[in-house]
Amino acid sequence: MKRILYLFIVATLLVSLPVLIQAQCKGFAKNICKLELSPDYTHDGNYHAAILTEGEEAELYKTFYSGQDYRIAICGSDNMSDVEFRVLDAKKTVLYTNRDNDFNRIWDFKLESSQQLKIFVRVPVNPDTSAEPQQGCVAIMFGFKAK
């Protein structure tokens, strides 16, 4: 009976641990990253955050409308190296990459036509460490200027 109870507790922890970690990541996005939009930009209400390990990448598609001022802010946990992000249009043309801008975490822009863009995020591997790859939360925040 004790063995069944033990297995049940272990199974419950294994199932709930990723949910708890993801909730902490969403909290990181809300409490830390959202500040990157203030005071000039209004948050769009969505929290895009994930746990990434050095060498991993993620992508997100988002529609932006013409004539609107936007800000994309990327932030990662303190233990993460600089997070790279690129913004591509439907033709896979790179509109912006922070690699060419000292890994700046913010990009402000305005589009001439409404379109869906692909935001590509990558956590580079830190070549200076031989230790196990770092893991942490990476968030993408979107804001717009109120008119």
Give the per-residue pLDDT at 10: 43
Rg, the chain, Cα only: 18
What the block records as the tokens of 66 is 């013409």
Look at the block and give the residue holding tokens 């641990």.
17
The structural domains of the chain, with segments of one domain joined by +, span 2-144
pTM: 0.77
Rounded to an integer, the average pLDDT of 95-122 is 94
Look at the block and give the residue holding tokens 């993408």.
140
Residue 70 CB neighbour total at 10 angstroms? 19
Q: pLDDT tens digits, residue range 21-49?
A: 445 687 877 888 888 888 899 999 898 99
Q: What class, spelled out in words, does domain 2-144 have in CATH?
A: mainly beta
